[in-house]
Amino acid sequence: MSSGRLYDGFLPGRYLFDAYGNGGFRFADMSHRGSVLALPSGIKAWTVNSVAELTDEALDPVFAEGDALDLLLLGTGADIAAIPGAFRTRFREAGIGLDVMQTGAAARTYNVLLAENRKVGAALIAVP
């Protein structure tokens, strides 16, 4: 298995997560240290390391997916964290559901929904 970061920060396609923890994720026979966005277009390196670092710009790739995405699972790290109302409003206005949970729960739920061929994405903050 290769290790390190995503090639050029992006891997096209949809992949299940094989593992998470130790500061990163395993998927597609590779590992990545750091947070990730798993979207219908592919898996992208994500610079967000905590809920406090969430910005509109950090979420722009999610909204760029358009109709390919019905639901985003937001993994907030080892603990569930509150998300500002402005972010929830942006999701509601875009017609994208938002579920906030611990990163491990989000990765597991993503795998189940992806296996069901649902229009799901995940924004996962890496956990130690």
Residue 59 maps to a domain: yes
1 in a domain, yes or no? no
Residue 111, domain member (yes or no): yes
Over residues 4-27, mean pLDDT? 85
Burial degree of 127 (CB within 10 A; 0-12, 13-18, 19+):
buried
pTM of the model: 0.92
Per-residue pLDDT reduced to its tens digit, 30-63: 889 999 999 999 999 999 999 999 999 999 999 9
118 within some domain = yes
For 110, counting Cβ atoms within 10 Å of its Cβ (0-12 exposed, 13-18 middle, 19+ buried), the class is: buried
Banded pLDDT at 1 (limits 50, 70, 90): very low
Inside any domain, residue 17: yes
What CATH code is carried by the domain that includes residue 49? Answer: 3.40.1230.10
Residue 2 covered by a domain: no
Identify the domain containing residue 84 by its residue range.
Answer: 7-124
Q: Count the domains in the chain.
A: 1
Residue 113 lies in a domain: yes
User: DSSP for the chain?
Assistant: -B-SSPGGGEEES---EEEEETTEEEETTEEEESEEEEETTEEEEE---SGGG--HHHHHHHHTTGGG-SEEEEE-SSS-----HHHHHHHHHHT-EEEEE-HHHHHHHHHHHHHTT--EEEEE----
